[in-house]
Amino acid sequence: MSLRWRIILLVTLAATLSALAGLAVTVAGARVSVRMEMMAALELARAEPPSAALPTHVRHVTRQFVPNGTPLPPAQRHHPGVPGWFAALVWDGADDILLPVEGGVWLQRADPADEVAEVWADTLALAVTAAIMLVLMLLALSVLVGRALAPLNDFALALDRLTEGRQAGPAAAIAIPELAAIGRRIARLDRELAAARAENTALSHSLIALQDQERAQLARDLHDELGPLLFGIRVDAHAISRAAATGPVPGADAAGRAGAIADAAAAIRDLSRRILNRLRPMGLDHLHTAEILRDLTAGLARQHPQTVFTVDLDSAAFARSEAADLTLYRIAHEAILNALRHGQPSRIGLQVQSHADRITLRVSDDGGGMKPDAPPGHGITGMRERVRALGGRFSIASGVDGQTLVEAHIPVPAVTAEGLHHHG
């Protein structure tokens, strides 16, 4: 049943109960009034001396002579034009008055027929008037409720459009405060969803650009470093092969060629390790993530002796899940490299803390801060997207004193069997 008809039925029920209560009060009042009227009429009749010259019927009282030895006639309960149930509600009878005279008695009996008929007519008129008013009120209520609830249809259409990924549309003016508040909330939801869709679109483009950049970097590494090394190995191997075909190969020449091949193989191994480490840190399969981060900062400290590294790692923050550990490593690695790449920091701090509901990572440096109008690079976009993929929050703040703080809050993930086996 629709809300409109629920309201109409509730109002109808309330009005019906009110009408019944009014009818009960009317009948109770009429009952008292009729009894008082009948008692007054009987008292007046009692005060008059019995005589055959008196009329047999006066207002509300009938007189009848009953000879001695004759039974009293039964009381008549007939009320023309009045339902019996209503007459029984209004009048429950009264005792007869017997005035003895010579040869018999005068019977004086209350006759409320006229009074009951008046009460019935008044009650019937009141009921008809109430019914007409109720019908008119329900018709007016149906129109008013329909107009008042019309915004609900607009809300449903707006929510359907939001579900389909479209805008909710312009909000109409609503006079009802409660419905107007719902309309404002839907409009705010529309704005937030539009901003989220725009942000997701921008992030998708940034991620595609970041992937293309990573692929281009891998292609350059393979082309610029791996290609010359393989070409050198091939040249040295052919030289050794040609020399061996023409006679004994001088030891010094063979040793030089073999050394060049070994150096090229070592360079290829280092290149492959760098590429694989960029794709996935190899130590995550064997070491605790905290140890890998300490090794990372120790290696960077050796390469940048002018920078002091401070590391504060809470071991309880790790080994929650592989995705969380990999995210912590990627963000710490990218943030530290950005600080070294784009500034000249004298101090870099790395802190990872464990809380009841989240893991907090902070990377701070004093390398000069970010330029206010500098657009976020692919590295920042990648960090932000990694954190958001886990349902966390990511922020970068630069102070006027040249300080930069990269902060990530990652919700505590559930420890999976895979994570326990991986980190155990």
CA–CA gap between residue 136 and residue 220 (Å, rounded): 85
Topology of 288-423 in CATH? Answer: Heat Shock Protein 90 (3.30.565)
In what side-by-side order are the strands of the sheet with 57-58? Answer: 57-58, 61-67, 104-110, 97-101
Alpha-helical (H) ranges within 304-411 are 322-342, 378-389
pLDDT at 267: 81
* Stated pTM of the model: 0.45
CA–CA gap between residue 127 and residue 140 (Å, rounded): 20
pLDDT mean values, one per 10 residues, the chain (424 residues) = 81 87 86 84 73 61 80 73 82 79 80 82 87 89 81 80 76 72 83 80 69 73 76 80 71 77 81 67 63 87 91 85 83 89 89 89 85 65 83 85 88 53 43
Instruction: Classify strands 97-101 and 308-313 as parallel, antiparallel or unpaired.
Output: unpaired
Helix (H) / strand (E) element for 245: namely helix 227-246
Nearest Cα residue to 137 out of 125, 149, 129, 148: 129
Question: 3-state class of 56 per DSSP?
Answer: coil
pLDDT at 192: 83
Q: Which phi and psi angles does 409 have, rounded to 5°?
A: -115, 115
Orientation angle between helical segments 177-221 and 378-389, nearest 10 degrees? 120
Nearest Cα residue to 301 out of 293, 289, 312, 291: 293
pLDDT at 306: 92
pLDDT at 78: 62
Residue-wise burial string across 339-376, b where 16 or more C-beta atoms lie within 10 A, e elsewhere = bbebbebeebbbbbeeeeebbbbbbbbbbbbbeeeeee
pLDDT at 422: 44
Contact 186, 163 (CB under 8 A): no
> pLDDT for 313-346, tens place per residue?
988 888 777 788 888 888 998 899 888 888 888 9
Could you tell me which residues come within 8 angstroms of residue 320 by beta carbon, excluding any fewer than 6 positions away? 359, 412, 413, 414, 415, 419
pLDDT at 409: 93
HEC-encoded secondary structure of 172-224: CCCCCHHHHHHHHHHHHHHHHHHHHHHHHHHHHHHHHHHHHHHHHHHHHHHHH
Instruction: Classify strands 97-101 and 104-110 as parallel, antiparallel or unpaired.
Output: antiparallel
Structural domain boundaries in the chain? 3-67+80-148, 288-423
pLDDT at 363: 94
> pLDDT for 242-269, tens place per residue?
777 776 667 677 778 788 888 888 888 7
Q: Would you give the DSSP letter of residue 282?
A: G
pLDDT at 418: 44
Q: Report the DSSP beta bridge partners of residue 352.
A: 313, 361
Within its chain, how far is the Cα of 412 from the centroid? Answer: 23
Q: What is the DSSP string of 66-115?
A: EETTPPPPPPP---TTS-HHHHHHH------EEEEETTEEEEEEE--HHH
Helix (H) / strand (E) element for 65: namely strand 61-67
Nearest Cα residue to 169 out of 151, 148, 150, 186: 186
Nearest Cα residue to 327 out of 281, 291, 275: 281
Q: Which amino acid is at 10?
A: L
CA–CA gap between residue 376 and residue 381 (Å, rounded): 7
Nearest Cα residue to 313 out of 296, 299, 300, 337: 296
Pick left, alpha or beta for residue 201 (phi over 0 → left; psi -120 to 50 → alpha; otherwise beta). alpha
